[in-house]
């Protein structure tokens, strides 16, 4: 399948979480490429302002703002109906909306529920609502789910967030397998794994872009490059973390099981030196 036909002027992108950050950067980029954009986010001024901003730069393309809570399956079905009724198409579905602030394993069950219903529930709802309709359209199309390195190396801190992102990885791998096995299917799935990115989520902690962070625009540019060459895992570096370092960290994490080490040994004082030596050996 050529993804070039996906990112064609006149086709349509549906992006959740597009009032800010990576989703907004994607909306801007797709609009300048001449794609129609359906911007889905929690309603309110932020969404209208973001959509107006994208409309200013859209050339021929139409920009539609749709207030949606991705945690609600019925609202995601209505989002699909809206996209197909207005544009007859969804070439790109970005299940991207996400929040942080869950907590460790045995605190704040209310936050766990809220976080999982948005981060994981939102992606499940998007996949359930759109996939069959995109397949039935019989045109090349992509589903891009936003995961995180925290769903792969699962650092201590926000365990609820890690669980949601690990589950998105598993869900997207299973989805891509099913699509690949389906004769004649012209839809593919991709896992976007941003590095440290300066967005609404990170602006809560840093007033200015930290030197180590990428911009949301860099993430979107990298995503397009990697989809173009057919990557499933779109593993973004940032200014602090080259791909080689990510690879070493991931290899160490996976080897916790193989080596029968304690979980999260990378952050275990007894393994600090061994991890440092491992990194030094590999890079
Ligand atoms: P952001 O906070 O700038 O954008 C997220 C958007 O999602 C916001 O506009 C927000 O209103 C929307 N949203 C939240 N709950 C929603 C709901 N229930 N329904 C609809 N929309 C909702 O954050 P950012 O960084 O652009 O996040 C995008 C994705 O990237 C998230 O899935 C996040 O977990 C992921 N990510 C971000 C990283 C970073 O360093 N910024 C690193 C790795 C992953």
Give the count of beta carbons closer than 10 Å to the beta carbon of residue 70: 27
Q: Which of 205, 239, 182, 212 is nearest to 1 (CA)?
A: 182
Per the CATH hierarchy, to which homologous superfamily does domain 3-239 belong?
Answer: NAD(P)-binding Rossmann-like Domain (3.40.50.720)
With the most atoms of ligand 1 within 8 angstroms of its CB, the residue from 194, 233, 239 to mutate is 194
Q: What is the mean pLDDT of the chain?
A: 97
Helix (H) or strand (E) holding 116: helix 109-137
Cα–Cα distance for residue pair 175/188, rounded to 1 Å: 8
User: DSSP label at 15?
Assistant: E
- Above 90 in pLDDT, residue 136? yes
pLDDT in tens, 226-264: 999 999 999 999 999 999 999 999 999 999 999 999 999
- Above 70 in pLDDT, residue 209? yes
Average pLDDT over residues 85-108: 97
Active-site entry in 7, 161, 222, 252: 161
Average pLDDT over residues 56-82: 97
pLDDT band at 119 (very low <50, low <70, confident <90, very high): very high
pLDDT band at 1 (very low <50, low <70, confident <90, very high): low
Nearest ligand 1 atom to the CA of 150 is 43
pLDDT in tens, 154-172: 999 999 999 999 999 999 9
233 as an active site residue: the answer is no
Q: Give me the residue spans of the domains in the chain.
A: 3-239, 242-283
């Amino acid at each position: 399948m050529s993804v070039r036909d996906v990112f064609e002027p006149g086709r349509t992108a549906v992006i959740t979480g597009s009032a800010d950050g990576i989703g907004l950067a994607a909306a801007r980029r797709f609009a300048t490429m001449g794609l129609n954009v359906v911007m889905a986010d929690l309603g309110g001024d932020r969404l209208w302002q973001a959509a107006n901003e994208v409309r200013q730069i859209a050339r021929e393309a139409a920009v539609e703002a749709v207030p949606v809570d991705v945690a609600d399956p019925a609202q995601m079905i209505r989002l699909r109906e809206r996209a197909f009724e207005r544009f007859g198409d969804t070439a790109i579905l970005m299940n991207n909306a996400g929040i942080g602030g869950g907590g460790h394993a045995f605190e704040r069950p209310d936050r766990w529920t809220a976080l999982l219903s948005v981060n994981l529930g939102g992606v499940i709802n998007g996949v359930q609502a759109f996939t069959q309709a995109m397949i039935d359209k019989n045109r090349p199309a992509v589903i891009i789910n936003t995961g995180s390195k925290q769903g792969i190396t699962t650092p201590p801190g926000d365990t609820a967030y890690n669980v949601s992102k690990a589950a998105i990885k598993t869900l997207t791998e299973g989805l891509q397998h099913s699509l690949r096995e389906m004769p004649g299917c012209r839809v593919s799935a991709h896992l976007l794994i941003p590095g440290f990115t300066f967005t609404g989520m990170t602006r809560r902690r840093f007033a200015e872009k930290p030197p180590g962070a990428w911009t949301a625009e860099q993430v979107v540019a990298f995503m397009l490059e990697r989809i173009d060459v057919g990557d499933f895992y779109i593993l973004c570096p940032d200014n602090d973390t080259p791909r080689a370092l990510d690879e070493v960290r991931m290899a160490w994490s996976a080897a916790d099981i193989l080596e029968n080490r304690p979980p999260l040994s990378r952050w275990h004082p007894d393994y600090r030196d061994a991890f440092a030596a491992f990194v030094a050996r590999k890079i």
